[in-house]
Copies of this chain bind each other. A is one copy, B any other.
Amino acid sequence: MKTEVDHRLRRSWTAEGGDAAQLPARALRWLTQRIGALTESPAGPAPTVPVSALKEETHADLVALLGERNVLLAPAERLGRAGGLSYLDLLRWRGAGELQVPDAVVLPADPEQVQQVLDLCVRHDIAVVPFGGGTSVVGGVNALRGDKAAVIALDLARLDKLVSVDPVSRIAVLQAGVRGPDGERLLAEHGFTLGHVPQSFERATIGGFAATRSAGQASAGYGRFEDMVSSVRLATPRGEWRLGVAPASAAGPDLRHLAIGSEGTLGVITEVAVRVRPVPVVRRYEGYVLDGWERGSAAVRALAQGRVLADVTRLSDTDETEVSLSLNAGWKTAALRRYLAARGIAEPCLLIVGWEGASKHEFSARRGAALAALKAAGAVRIGRSLGESWLRGRFSGPRQRDALLDNGVCVETLETAAHWSELSRLRDEVRSALSDSLGSPIIMCHVSHAYETGASLYFTVLASRDPADPTGQWAQAKKAACEAIVGLGTISHHHAVGVDHAPYLEAEIGSIGMDVLRAAKAVVDPSGILNPGKLGS
């Protein structure tokens, strides 16, 4: 069965709200100049939707449990949960490669129904892929069937409630399907914020944040998502599992850290209790420029090790800064270039710093401490407009990617983290690997998460797409980058493992670690229905 694919589904980001980005002609000219001729977007066949493998009996039992309207077999619905938003996923939508389409989509109403769906799937030998925002860029929600009779997407969209708020302890319990903006809206009614803002914020969910060990753009101020998790509630084939009873504990290994990052393989996260903070009363974003990558990363290190990081601290390397300036060409940018040249900045690296303060006094104190460190590190202040324009555009990356894909660009991101002493070497090696593999790509890099002992590196790659084998082109480049990362850094700082990074997990946690994960899975999911093929399971 072939199905005409809804335009809504073929784009990564325009499904709900937000305009599709267009690339201005000037940007296209500039791109062509930098990476070579651009091919047309492939006009491959629309994705094929196979006949659902769900048996009538299974379907009937699911309908009896959830009601007709919460068990979806329509091709458009199934396609809507066929994978995430990696470049390879998007190519599949555009006809290059096979989409993995679930046999059905189920929408349980609450944690109890999630548990009942799992029990049913054990009985019927059905693989279950938990589906939140569908924003995985590592194949984490690809509908793999494993050795099961069929595979369903368990969409958590109806678990969209704020369950409770403890204003004294500043803990809120949110259901797993709550999306980023909805979570903030629900918490704001109580005067609180979560402060977790990854680039996928608009669509990603609380459960997904926990399942993937997400890190938000303001991780320096609010912490990574795992730092915010007070407790988790999971549905597993073995039954419900709750972890986390106190702000800190020495009651053996911290098993919350086994649930966090388990990517649907050890249970379906149904509720997360998170630490919340008062809605900030001051927000301030500013731009600074450092001369060259080494001085730039040293400045961020000084902020991190001096423990005066701004809540958002984001350093672009020379190439990323140059691309920003080139695409923002105009009299203001020209003036900025002249100003920087006059200040002796030969290789500008843009640093965005942002604070969200609970009071003006707190904000001023923290900003003052950071500015002193930045001044000592040789940073040149360029005012608030670049900081604010970053803030406005901080969710636009995925939209721009759609426009780039339309124009025949190979565009993808990848990320890692390493200790400070390895960071520049790791950046160099990943850049070399990508360059060697892709010809003359544009490789931009930034640090968006800094710690006392190291930092993340986030790469954006633009290349002229190989029309003959776009999938193979990127698969090869990604492999080269991953091999450069292994041994120097982590295979993922915040994108998770999914399918794409699974081959590199053992290098990081050892064969013992892999066996421990398998053993834990065998306890909670003896028949192996939970998200087959992810995390190397």
Binding site for B on A (CB under 8 A): 166, 168-171, 212-215, 224, 226, 230, 236, 238-239, 241-243, 245-263, 266, 275, 277, 301, 305-306, 358, 361-362, 365, 368-369, 372, 416-422, 449, 451-456, 489-497, 501, 505, 508-510, 512-513, 515-517, 519-520, 522-524, 535
13 contacts between A and B (CB under 8 A): A169-B454, A246-B416, A246-B490, A247-B454, A251-B492, A251-B505, A252-B261, A253-B258, A253-B259, A255-B516, A257-B257, A516-B520, A520-B520
Interface of A, helix, strand, loop or mixed by DSSP: mixed
Contact check, A243 vs B509: say whether CB atoms are below 8 A apart: yes
Q: Nearest Cβ in chain B — how far from A244, in angstroms?
A: 9
Given A249-B490, A417-B248, A520-B516: A509 in contact with B255 (beta carbons within 8 A): yes
Contact check, A516 vs B452: say whether CB atoms are below 8 A apart: no
The complex places the Cα of A522 from the Cα of B518 at a distance, in Å, of 12
The complex places the Cα of A372 from the Cα of B361 at a distance, in Å, of 11
The complex places the Cα of A494 from the Cα of B362 at a distance, in Å, of 31
> How many monomers of this protein are in the complex?
2
Given A224-B248, A243-B509: A522 in contact with B523 (beta carbons within 8 A): no
Q: Which residue of B lies closest to A224 (CB)?
A: B248
Seed contacts A241-B513, A249-B490, A254-B261; 10 additional CB < 8 Å A-B pairs? A168-B301, A247-B453, A248-B456, A249-B417, A250-B492, A251-B496, A252-B509, A258-B516, A365-B369, A516-B524
The complex places the Cα of A207 from the Cα of B213 at a distance, in Å, of 27
Contact of A250 among B236, B256, B495, B515 (CB under 8 A): B495
Given A243-B509, A253-B517: A248 in contact with B420 (beta carbons within 8 A): no
The complex places the Cα of A485 from the Cα of B98 at a distance, in Å, of 54
Contact check, A166 vs B421: say whether CB atoms are below 8 A apart: yes
Given A236-B512, A253-B260, A524-B512: A168 in contact with B420 (beta carbons within 8 A): yes
The complex places the Cα of A365 from the Cα of B449 at a distance, in Å, of 25
Residue from the set A252, A258, A260, A419 with the largest chain B CB neighbour count within 10 Å: A252
The complex places the Cα of A56 from the Cα of B516 at a distance, in Å, of 36
Give the chain B neighbours of A254 by CB distance below 8 A. 213, 226, 257, 260-261
Give the chain B neighbours of A493 by CB distance below 8 A. 246, 248-250
Give the chain B neighbours of A358 by CB distance below 8 A. 306
